[in-house]
Homo-oligomer: A and B are copies of this chain.
Amino acid sequence: MMANSRGFASDNNSGIHPSVLQAITDANKGHCIGYGDDQYTNEALKKFREVFGEDVAVFLVCTGTGANVLALRAVTQSFHAIICALSSHLNTDECGAPENHTGCKVLAIKSDDGKIAPHQIEPLLHGRMDEHQSQPRVISISQPTEFGTVYSIEELKKLSSFAHSHDLLLHMDGARLSNAAASLGCSLRAVTGEAGIDLLSFGGTKNGMMMGEAVVFFNPQGTEYFKCIRKQGTHLVSKMRFLSSQFTAFFDNDLWLYNARHANSMAGLLAEELKGIPQVRITQKVQTNAVFLTMPSEIVQKLQKRHFFYIFDHTQGIARLMTSFDTTKDDIQRFIADLRGLLERLET
């Protein structure tokens, strides 16, 4: 594997889309007031309102974990519980940051495809008003899930309506939300605010930005102090214009959609090709830019040497292949060819 060769390890292994880098370069003129009171940030927030609705309150932060924990912290007290899927990034990939920063208990629900539904949440609500138990306050879902699967608008509405009728908020971890919207063929607003989402972690980093995540509140009431939460939460960037200008480029001409569609279609192509290989089994629906699969364990390390990817589940030998905005058809053809080659040599 050559240095900087494209692989399938993660969409965050990709770089910066040229238009985003250009936007950083364009913003690099003279002086601007720091901490977000500048024209680039105003422009970016305007774009956010165009995309998500006039009433949203938006706050830019540096990392996805930062977006998740600050969003959740804004709407919880430490005696609350946060309900999510066992496989969620929130639960498994943030080194306990949600517990640490909110003080809340995380109640994780086992799920084969990463999605959770009202009937799984309901049993967790029995102890409400019993002071011995953490009080459920937020449902957090990932859209798409960490398995690349997508909640339909219908499913989201059922979840949000369930949440609201039980005095719960619905948070969406949208680190790859572009890919879900591209998959559903709907707007970012349709899959969030219009589907009843209350608060959103919106990610640009995995889809062509250098760095940039946002916390979006669909009901701005009570968010006037979120700026203090962000500052105390160590995510107030001084040269904010360089986060903001990235987002503006991300929304301009629907770059987010273009990139996401491309990544999704590359995953579709990859899955198509894999289906023709009998020793391979695809284990999750391919709805966005991830393909989960099993293959003979003997070839895994050899294949990883040529095309970097991760084994997602060591117990079951499930690999994850992720495409990104810059994956090419050629990348896929070479991967498939190498995979077929290794499998052939295995047989003989």
* Residues of A in contact with B (beta carbons under 8 Å apart): 3-7, 9-10, 12-16, 21, 24-25, 27-35, 39, 62-66, 69-70, 77-81, 92-97, 99-101, 103-106, 123, 126, 131-135, 205-206, 210-211, 225, 227-239, 242, 308, 314-315, 324
Contact = CB atoms under 8 A, between A and B. Distances in A.
Given A31-B7, A232-B100, A133 B62 contact: no
A132 B24 contact: no
A258 to B, nearest CB: 18
A96 B92 contact: no
A235 B64 CA distance: 9
Contacts of A3: 30, 39
B6 A133 contact: no
A13 B32 contact: yes
Contacts of A34: 9-10, 12-13
- The DSSP consensus for interface residues of chain A is loop
A7 B38 CA distance: 14
Nearest to A68: B234
Best-buried of A12, A25, A62, A228 by chain B (most CB within 10 Å)? A228
A53 B101 CA distance: 34
Given A21-B24, A31-B308, A105 B106 contact: yes
A236 B12 contact: no
A210 B131 contact: no
